[in-house]
Amino acid sequence: MNKFLKKLLLFAAVVVLAAASCTKGSAPGSNWDVPDPEGTLVVNRRNFKVDSENSHARLIATYKNPNGLYEPSAITVEPYVPGVLDGNNAVFDLTIGTYTVRAEKLSVTVTVSL
């Protein structure tokens, strides 16, 4: 199994666990998730280590807006890096540097280093 697929499966597992923990306070037998008033922004990693041969990292970001709806098109990376929408995620290939991932009022700092 290639590295990207392993990371994608790990990310999916984290998202499922996060979603399950959000419903703990719900009524018994209910699957309703109470959305965060500012939404939620999740990235697969905040710190990437790369080697000189493969000097890029694949960032996978997921954003749920304040209404609890996935909105991957709202995710941007600064300095600008073009992204590709993949289902509920936005995927970015980053080179060495420090980046700010944004979605509406939320932001996460991501670093790629050797």
Q: CATH no. for residue 48?
A: 2.60.40
What is the three-class DSSP state of 66? coil
How many domains would you assign to the chain? 1
The answer to the question of residue 114 being in a domain is: yes
* Cα–Cα distance measured from residue 83 to residue 99, given in angstroms and rounded to the nearest whole number: 13
Q: Mean pLDDT in the chain?
A: 83
Confirm whether 97 is domain-assigned.
yes
Residue 96 in any domain: the answer is yes
What's the order of all strands across the beta sheet hosting 97-103? 47-49, 106-113, 97-103, 76-78
Task: Classify residue 2: in a domain, yes or no.
Answer: no
Q: Which of 94, 35, 97, 96 is nearest to 60 (CA)?
A: 94
pLDDT digits (tens, 9 = 90+) for 1-56: 566 656 656 666 555 545 544 444 444 544 555 667 889 999 999 999 999 888 89
The answer to whether residue 7 sits within a structural domain is no
State how far the Cα of 52 lies from the Cα of 90, in Å rounded to an integer. Answer: 25
| For residues 81-89, average pLDDT | 97
Q: Fill in the amino acid letter for 114.
A: L
Structure token digits, residue 70: 């996935």
Residue 90 lies in a domain: yes
pLDDT of residue 113: 94
pLDDT value, residue 18: 53
Q: Which domain, by its residues, includes 50?
A: 37-114
79 cis-preceded (ω within 30 degrees of 0): yes
Residue 29 forms part of a structural domain: no
Residue type, 52: S
Mean pLDDT on 51-67: 93
pLDDT at 75 over 80: yes
Asked whether residue 22 is domain-assigned, the answer is no
The average pLDDT across 66-74 equals 95
**Model pLDDT, residue 30:** 47
The 89-95 sheet, strands edge to edge: 40-43, 56-64, 89-95, 83-86
